[in-house]
Chains A and B, each alone.
Chain A
Amino acid sequence: MTTLIEAKDLRKKFGAIKAVNGINLNVSAGEVLGFLGPNGAGKSTTMRMLTGFLEADSGTVQLAGVALDTDPLEARRRMGYLPEGAPAYPDMRVRDFLMFIAQARGFMGSEARHRVEQVIERIHLGQVLGQTIETLSKGFKRRVGLAQAILHDPPVLILDEPTDGLDPNQKHEVRNLISEMGASQGKAIVLSTHILEEVEAVCTRAVIINKGKVVVDETPARLVARAPEESGGSALDAVFRSVTSGDLEEAGQ
């Protein structure tokens, strides 16, 4: 399988705090990588470095074979990004916003309209097309963010909390969409989440980071298998707690 995301030894300091302290990630075509970790572990910072929004202090990123630091525009063309909180221009109407993104992505005229129509159908945005983004519910806002990220059908997708704020039905729908894009369209997808069941539902791989370092990198099934026998409730919760609260050794096989 081809490696579509290749991050080597990413590091980032904010003042004296080492937010990301040497992260390596290789994500292949068809993989859906669930990115987990407690708040402040460096998830968003890592994703921002993968997309080039933040410059890493050291380390390199390649997206679909293009180095982010030598050819940033070409690398960005091959990537779709849903930033944390799904930011969008509040005064713009949904259709105008998606048209703007399509044009900024280099699609012109009827091609741009066609792309927008396609994504609207795919994400079911038809009923809110004429509304301004500030009037949308949190769920629709998130879906608009997802729509702009996949509009150009990129090989690489970076999604920061794509299902946050969605109701159970919408969550189910978005998860199906993500699984499909990974499995049948062969995209490399990195998504961050706080919902551990989501990792089991859509991800082919789970990476847990803590204090800026990768502490777990394996399949969700094996992650569940690591759970201590006596743990009540969710097995994943127990693993997550044990690896991110310092007793890493006890949790390992």
Chain B
Amino acid sequence: MRRIGIVFRREFSGYFATPLAAIFLVVFLFLSSMFAFNIGGFFDRGQADLRPFFQFHPWLYLFLVPAISMRLWAEERRTGTIELIATLPLTMQDLVLGKFFAAWAFSGLALLLTVPMWWTVSFLGEPDHGVIVCSYLASWLTAGAFLAIGSAISSLTKNQVVAFVLCAAVCFLLLLSGFSVVLDFFRSWAPNMVVEGLSAIGVLTHFDSMVRGVIDLRDVLYFASLIVAFLMINTAVIDWRKAA
């Protein structure tokens, strides 16, 4: 735990050593509120809730998360620092978890900065606070799942652009498989089992049910198992191909 903490602190403060943190936070805040107000019809709906705000988060994460995760391991390989940290008395799990939690905490910080949206609806009406808490959790879990995927992909290459594109592609597929348009397309001809299966692995299915305010253990387990699975892949990849 102490060792994970040391890696975590270095990584987390690393975000603020470059303009990356500031740019990310500004872009996230700007886009998430722009989507909510202009496309989601935040005011037009006449309802005091944050649905129009949260519903675009998975789409925002589609390109914002790879921007964070692409450098996690690819940069270590490119600069050769992987040789330094892999020969310190730290285990691969310490490194993988420390990096992941730092990135996840950073995305959590971005979400925390959107709390003024919450104040706004509370000022305008009487929102269901339970639903909003649930939505924040759904959004953060989605970011976590995408980050774990991105971290694993970043460990495969020393090229950050490759890591970005591959991560965005994999996350896009995961999003698509739960998208109603895609599901309807399959529903017309594929057996029910296929449709159910696609919907079960889709991020949106689980995200939507949580944003509605229902915390179902299965949804939380879905995100948790995505995170665990990809971090295990990440650890295995680094162990096999440290030098690469």
Contacts and interface: CB of A to CB of B under 8 A. Distances in A.
B6 A73 contact: no
Interface in A69-105: 73-74, 76-77, 79, 81, 83-85, 87-92, 96, 100-101, 103-105
Interface stretch (B78-86, B149-157, B160-168, B211-219): B78-86
A155 to B, nearest CB: 14
Given A53-B243, A89-B14, A100-B6, A106 B89 contact: yes
A76 B84 contact: no
B89 A53 contact: no
Nearest to B88: A104
Contacts of A76: 87-89
Interface residues of B, number: 22
Contacts of B192: none
A101 B14 CA distance: 15
Contacts of A193: none
A92 B17 contact: yes
B87 A51 contact: yes
A40 to B, nearest CB: 15
A16 to B, nearest CB: 17
A31 B89 CA distance: 24
A248 interface: no
Contacts of A92: 10, 14, 17
A73 B87 contact: no
A136 interface: no
Nearest to B86: A53
Contacts of B17: 91-92, 132
A6 B10 CA distance: 34
Contacts of A96: 13
Q: Count chain A CB atoms within 10 A of each CB in B6, B84, B242, B243 and give the residue with the most.
A: B84
A48 B80 CA distance: 13
Interface string B104-127: 000000000000000000000000
Nearest to A93: B17
Given A53-B83, A90-B79, A91-B14, A101 B88 contact: yes
Contact of A48 (B13, B83, B88): B83
Q: Count chain B CB atoms within 10 A of each CB in A52, A92, A104, A105 and give the residue with the most.
A: A104
A225 interface: no
Nearest to A14: B243
21 contacts: A48-B243, A52-B87, A53-B243, A76-B87, A76-B88, A77-B89, A83-B83, A83-B84, A83-B87, A87-B81, A87-B83, A89-B81, A90-B79, A91-B17, A91-B18, A92-B10, A101-B88, A104-B90, A105-B88, A105-B89, A132-B17
Given A83-B80, A89-B81, A100-B10, 20 more contacts: A51-B87, A53-B83, A53-B86, A54-B242, A54-B243, A76-B87, A76-B88, A76-B89, A77-B89, A81-B84, A85-B80, A87-B80, A88-B84, A89-B79, A91-B17, A91-B18, A92-B17, A96-B13, A104-B6, A105-B89
Interface of B: 3, 6-7, 10, 13-14, 17-18, 79-81, 83-91, 242-243
